Amino acid sequence: MKKSLAINGIFAIFSFLVFGFLVIKSQGIDLDKHNRYISDLRLINETDARINQNILQARYGLINSYDPITEDLKKLDRTLESLKKAPFFLMVNSQYRLVENLDEYTKLLRQKEQLIEDFNGANALVKNSLAYLPIAVANAISKSSASRNYEGASLINSLLRDILIYNASPRDNLVNKISEELEIIRENKEEISSFISDSDLDVILAHARIILENLPRVNRLIEEIVKLPTTEVSDRLSDNYEQAYQKAIATNNIYRLLLYLFSIVLLISISASIIRKLRRSAAAIREAEEKYRSIFENSIDGIFQVTPEGRYLSANPALAKIYGYSSAEELLTNITEIGHQVYVFPHRWEELKMRVEKNGYVSEFKSQVYRKDGRIIWISEGANAVRDREGNILYYEGIVTDITARKQAEVALKMEQRKSEMLLLNILPQSIADRLKKNKKALIAEYFDNVTVLFADIVGFTKLSTQMCPEELVNLLNKIFSAFDLLVEKYDLEKIKTIGDSYMVVGGLPIPRKDREEAIAEIALDILTEIDRFNQENNQSLNVRIGINSGPAIAGVIGLKKFTYDLWGDTVNTASRMESHSVTGRIQVSDATYQLLRDKYVFEPRGIISIKGKGEMMTYFLVDRM
């Protein structure tokens, strides 16, 4: 099964990748991008031709500004940048070839820009001299005519005429002739200077030399500019693009055909797979129905379908057995409204429906129900609603489990737990017991700043124990300590322990309280009263010795299996000494306790006594309440 799923998964991924690849490759030619590229190719030819034309016009003075040439060069740069973004549908190698052509054209364009820059400089010199030379000659001729030196005027005028002819139609013989004229003028400079100033003559000669030197360079630069093979490269670029475009169309058509064929194969494969899955699904449904019927008939849990009104539509034998019927048919016949016939509390049926309506299902819904014989049992139900297309509930279906035995076990377990808790509370305070129940391994040890500890010892009990049998002795001690326990509950104090015939109680823990000293004083006085009452009722002559001390102490739980809540510290030891050094029938308190109670109770100073382990201490007897 896993191998089949893996193969199907690999096939699906492969098919998806191939299909996606073919879809991408078969994308149609983008005519907008194609037309844009063709337009850019045409534009570079037109712009290049216009630049050449403007160069010639600038040479002969037909345009006075070089701005059109500069703008066309910028336009060529922008167009080349645009052409570098070849249409995506071209093959990669075709795009590389176009880039090579564009790089070649760019290099030619850089050469052309440099030549044009040189041309602009040289041509500016020629144009400037051509503009000023006629003016200088005209001034010179006017001065020559005034001095009747017609021969000098004729010589200068002949120089101007030849230079203008040379500018319009450059010929080598004119260069020689102009050079000879310049030589003659230079040789006759002194004679000519008689009617033309040296400065005017120098200007004429300077402009003539500038024209004679730069005009050939201007013409040569024009020739180099025009001869640059930009047109051939742009034509080659256009041819390569056309070939790449045709190849892209052919490749695109091939991929479209492959996509069409692959789609057919894929559709057939998917159809065949769907048919196989439908057949397997039909077989699985039949098998599931058979299994469901088997489960329905043989399940130990009750299975049912019931209408919202409470009438069973179907039920399995297990449900009939749970309700005490001999068969499912008998159950369906006799129960027509389960709310009142089945549930001990009819509102449970309504509550079940409300929960299903709210949550869509219900689980572990526990109720008490009647069996056929009238006996009440516990059941646990799980149910959900079956709805029509409009969302209306058609019926409920679910499972019923008889949990009567489990409920009885739970009740028994709770009773045992209550017994255990009561036993625990007999030896531990409520708050300490709660903490131990939450974490049995927890270390419980607390420090209390102020507690008051009382020790009470039954005087004469040891002698009495030799005169009584064990049962009588224990019964006697139990009566006394039970009376003390009632006093502990009365004053909400904490009994710590009994050791033989000694009784220990403390106030101020595990929950601190402000009246701890008063409560201990009250129980001490009541213990004396209780002993007197006990002696009268039981014809005994027992007595007690009581000691009290106040101060800090540490309390905690010790033991792993048999817990004991105990108290430690100097305060506890001193309280024990107060009892052991006290007087029969009296309540001895330390100075610490006296200071806390002296305004509320009557005390009798005993004086300073020697206490074992403590030295001399001032103590008092608690006599009565004020």
Same domain, 73 and 143: yes
Q: Is residue 618 part of a domain?
A: yes
The pLDDT tens digits of the residues spanning 234-276 come to 888 888 888 888 887 777 777 777 777 777 887 888 888 888 8
Same domain, 451 and 582: yes
Query: Is the model's pLDDT at 45 over the cut of 50?
Result: yes
Q: What is the CATH number of the domain that holds 185?
A: 1.20.58
Comparing 111 with 132, the larger pLDDT belongs to 111
Cα Dmax for the chain = 184
Query: Is the model's pLDDT at 46 over the cut of 50?
Result: yes
Same domain, 38 and 125: yes
Same domain, 502 and 567: yes
pLDDT in the model for residue 427: 47
Q: What is the pTM of this model?
A: 0.40
pLDDT in the model for residue 210: 84
- Mean pLDDT of all residues in 309-325: 89
Same domain, 490 and 394: no
Secondary structure (3-state) at 371 = coil
Same domain, 397 and 492: no
The pLDDT tens digits of the residues spanning 145-204 come to 555 555 666 777 777 787 777 777 777 677 777 777 777 777 776 666 666 677 777 787
- Mean pLDDT of all residues in 490-516: 87
The token pair that represents 470 in the structure block? 């064990």
Work out the pLDDT band at 5, boundaries 50, 70, 90. low
Same domain, 96 and 155: yes
Same domain, 306 and 245: no
Residue 68 near residue 129 (C-beta atoms within 8 A): no
Same domain, 465 and 538: yes
How many C-beta atoms surround the C-beta of residue 595 within 10 A?
13
Residue 150 near residue 141 (C-beta atoms within 8 A): no
Q: Which of 402, 428, 451 is the last residue of a domain?
A: 402
Q: Is residue 437 part of a domain?
A: no
The token pair that represents 121 in the structure block? 């400089």
Cβ neighbourhood burial of 549 (10 Å; 0-12, 13-18, 19+) = buried
The pLDDT tens digits of the residues spanning 437-484 come to 555 555 566 888 899 999 999 887 777 777 778 787 788 888 888 989
Query: Is the model's pLDDT at 374 over the cut of 70?
Result: yes
Same domain, 368 and 251: no
CA distance 195 to 205: 16
Same domain, 391 and 489: no
Half-sphere exposure for 110 (CA within 13 Å, toward CB): 5
Residue 256 near residue 25 (C-beta atoms within 8 A): no
Same domain, 375 and 454: no
Please state the domain count of the chain: 3
Q: Which of 243, 264, 285 is the last residue of a domain?
A: 264
**Domain of 132, in residue numbers:** 30-264
pLDDT in the model for residue 65: 80
